[in-house]
A and B are shown apart, each in its own frame.
Chain A
């Protein structure tokens, strides 16, 4: 078996481009659960190797993975390879394939049993699911503030539920607050801003200057250095409008900066 864990791991991560953005951590969220778990759980030394619940007919990912995982047809067939029985407690690493998963198709379920635990297919599947759930719960724990210290699934779940509820309530409160605003500036200008907003928001705008070249304010036209790294980019643009108190005339100019969103 040698080193397959690590190479698997890398190949797995390498072969699994995130579906959405390219940012690494977002990728974690977008990845199918098995990959997320692989990233969460450290690769370990092998204890027992049990193959279970094979999903035949897998293709593209297989050639590289096949060195240590032999695609076996037929569910329920197990094979134990007793390896270096180093640590007794043994951490676990698993790759799963579910038909219900979104995203990639991994060959099959590959669960390592802990020492002294039952290895029939039912409890293995159970354990695999439980591990999945636990990994996701861990992830959620990191996401919800103040949850990482809590131990015990009930409390964590409770915390998560409270957090979701509080966020939803905040949406309601803020929408009431927004509804109460009665001094809306004319929003036609937004279409001007968004194209810039999309273009510059993702990049760095450390030295961005207010685009007076782009559109002309009837009133003041003093340039202003926009606040890098804060969302107030767009709001500062609006701020200029408000202070000038007049409409914006759009000029034909290089309004849109480099990359248009």
Chain B
């Protein structure tokens, strides 16, 4: 498949670096109060994913944007807590094609509901057309998988054997 080795090592590098910063207490949080540790580790995971990918992808740009904005809101990927309609985001008006599944026999809400759900799940998915959303989802899934693998190896290493 793809070469996850290159991706994986960049994820690992950045993630471990941020982990070490978290553990040595050097985490700069823009918030007044400190985050619980697992929360900041989770943020670090997404941050390292997004930094490794850079700005090539819409989802990584969105993640980086959210993390930088951090502040009063939770800098997490949970889009449901975020206000929709950020700067520079065009309206997803033509993103949903109502008659797309005409021949499928699937009635009503299901397709529409799922598209919306997918948009909310994938960061940055709100403002793009559906086919673009699918491409972003594919890349996002690939990176998520790699990141989970990295985290799992690290966790397995550090649990007391």
Contact = CB atoms under 8 A, between A and B. Distances in A.
A133 B131 contact: yes
Interface residues on A, range: 35 or more
A177 B121 CA distance: 23
B152 interface: yes
A154 B104 contact: yes
Contact of B1 (A20, A25, A170): A25
Given A23-B2, A100-B129, A129-B97, A161 B118 contact: yes
Nearest to A231: B153
Contact of A154 (B2, B38, B110): B110
Interface of A: 19-21, 23, 25-26, 29-30, 33, 36, 100, 126, 129-130, 132-133, 136-137, 139-140, 143-144, 152-154, 157-158, 160-161, 163-165, 167-168, 170-172, 174-181, 183-184, 187-188, 190, 194, 197-198, 201-202, 231-232, 234-235, 238-239
28 contacts: A25-B3, A29-B2, A30-B56, A100-B132, A126-B97, A129-B131, A133-B100, A140-B134, A140-B137, A143-B142, A154-B106, A154-B111, A157-B111, A164-B122, A165-B121, A167-B145, A171-B46, A171-B151, A174-B151, A174-B155, A179-B36, A179-B38, A181-B155, A183-B158, A187-B16, A202-B6, A232-B157, A235-B153
Chain A interface, >50% SS class? helix
A164 to B, nearest CB: 5
A20 B142 CA distance: 14
Given A168-B77, A238-B157, A175 B151 contact: yes
Given A100-B132, A133-B130, A171-B42, A202 B148 contact: no
A153 B42 contact: no
Contacts of A132: 131
Interface string B118-161: 10011000000111101101111110110111111111011110
A153 B101 contact: yes
Contacts of A140: 134, 137-138, 141
Nearest to B157: A235
A186 to B, nearest CB: 8
B74 interface: no
Interface of B: 1-3, 5-10, 12-13, 16-17, 19-20, 23-24, 36-39, 41-42, 44-46, 56, 77, 97, 99-101, 104, 106, 110-111, 114-115, 117-118, 121-122, 129-132, 134-135, 137-142, 144-145, 147-155, 157-160
A171 B159 contact: no
Given A33-B135, A174-B152, A201 B9 contact: yes
Contacts, number: 177
B111 A167 contact: no
Given A154-B106, A190-B16, 6 more contacts: A33-B135, A143-B138, A161-B118, A164-B122, A176-B41, A231-B150
Contacts of A133: 100, 130-131, 134
A171 B45 contact: yes
A177 B111 contact: no
B147 A171 contact: yes
Given A20-B56, A21-B3, A231-B149, A197 B9 contact: yes
A136 B158 contact: no
Nearest to B140: A164
A25 to B, nearest CB: 5
Nearest to B99: A126
A184 B151 contact: no
A98 to B, nearest CB: 9
Contacts of B10: 198
Contacts of B36: 179
B13 A21 contact: no
Given A33-B135, A231-B149, A157 B20 contact: no
Contacts of A19: 56
B111 to A, nearest CB: 6
B118 to A, nearest CB: 6
